[in-house]
Amino acid sequence: MEDYLEEWASPYDLWLCFLAKARQLWSLEVVYFLLWLIWSNRNTCLQDDKVYKTPATLAATMAARLVSEVEVAARREETITPNRMNPCWSPLPTGYVKINTDAAFNAQSKEVGLGVAVRVVNGRVLLSVTSRTNNVPGFLFAEVYA
């Protein structure tokens, strides 16, 4: 196993291999759901000082139910014919940047976590910044800060 791990050039390669294997096994949605569950628990822990200890069996059951719901929704979509055109993504013109911002508000502590990512034409991150602000009166103010 160690020889196999040493072949990866970076942690990025590990994730690519992991997600490719999940896709081969038709369980990509389960992996995405479990990663979301971990991320959500991390945010709850950081913002509310609470840790939810979800048993593995419960997490697996929740993930399986999610996959079932996705499959049902996909079957429904196959029967519906869209009447409108789907917009296609196109890269930004040369010299332009895309700026994404977000905010997370903790009502108890009145704190806001802010994040900014600036990307160039090929999607490469040019700049990313995070910040925390105190004494914010409400979530709408958090969005204004973002």
Which of 94, 101, 100, 99 is CA-nearest to residue 121?
Answer: 94
- pLDDT value, residue 12: 61
Q: Any bridge partners for residue 118, and if so which?
A: 99, 127
pLDDT digits (tens, 9 = 90+) for 97-127: 888 888 888 888 989 888 888 888 777 888 8
pLDDT digits (tens, 9 = 90+) for 36-71: 877 887 888 888 877 777 777 777 777 778 777 777
Q: State the amino acid at position 146 in one-letter form.
A: A
Q: How far apart are CA 134 and CA 95, in angstroms?
A: 35
Q: What dihedral angle (degrees, nearest 10) is formed by the CA atoms of 130, 132, 102, 29?
A: 80
CB atoms within 10 A of CB 62: 15
Average pLDDT over residues 8-15: 64
Q: How far apart are CA 134 and CA 146, in angstroms?
A: 14
Which sequence spans correspond to the domains of the chain? 2-79, 98-145
- pLDDT value, residue 7: 60
pLDDT tier for residue 1 given thresholds of 50, 70 and 90: very low
Does the pLDDT of residue 4 top 70, yes or no? no
- pLDDT value, residue 71: 74
Does the pLDDT of residue 8 top 80, yes or no? no
Which of 41, 102, 103, 29 is CA-nearest to residue 67?
Answer: 29
Q: What value does the mean pLDDT of the chain take?
A: 76
